[in-house]
Amino acid sequence: MHPFLLFLSSPGDCSEERQAVHDVAARLNADPLVSAFAHIEIVAWDQGHGIPLELLATPQASVNNHLPTPESCDVFIGIFNCRLGTPLPIQDFRKFDGSPFLSGTEYEFHRAWEERRRGAYLPEMLIYRKQRDSKDCADKEQIDRLEAIPLRTTH
């Protein structure tokens, strides 16, 4: 049976949406027709018992050390609500132009996107954003960061 790796990335305000992805994968894995061909494995920091947070590493470095990378998975799913997330330390994580990643989710997106940009067939990339009025989001700085990120790309 082929493992089908699905990388799940989102900031902390998407717990219900993350759980929905876990639930759908569990239902599909329980379906005899699906399970005869593949087993969906969710690659996520909150899967099972979670990942160990290393004492001398950032949370993102711990994720990188203990999980498959976004670009090594079959599908990348990014989910956004009102937050972009917590900025990563610039001394450890920088874009090619030297600018900082504004969150772990943005960093993971860029890793997957760079693989596709270089011509790889995988990961398939799916981005979801909850449709809501930005006035419904409490943290104006977070919603402004989220709205400033170009989550759509062209080839």
User: pLDDT 10s digit of each residue in the chain, 155 long?
Assistant: 779 999 999 999 999 999 999 999 999 999 999 989 999 999 998 877 788 889 889 999 999 999 999 999 999 999 999 999 999 999 999 998 999 999 999 999 999 999 999 999 999 999 999 877 777 888 888 888 888 876 554 44
Give the domain ranges of the chain: 2-148
Backbone angles phi, psi at 124, to 5 degrees: -65, 140
Q: What is the pLDDT of residue 116?
A: 96
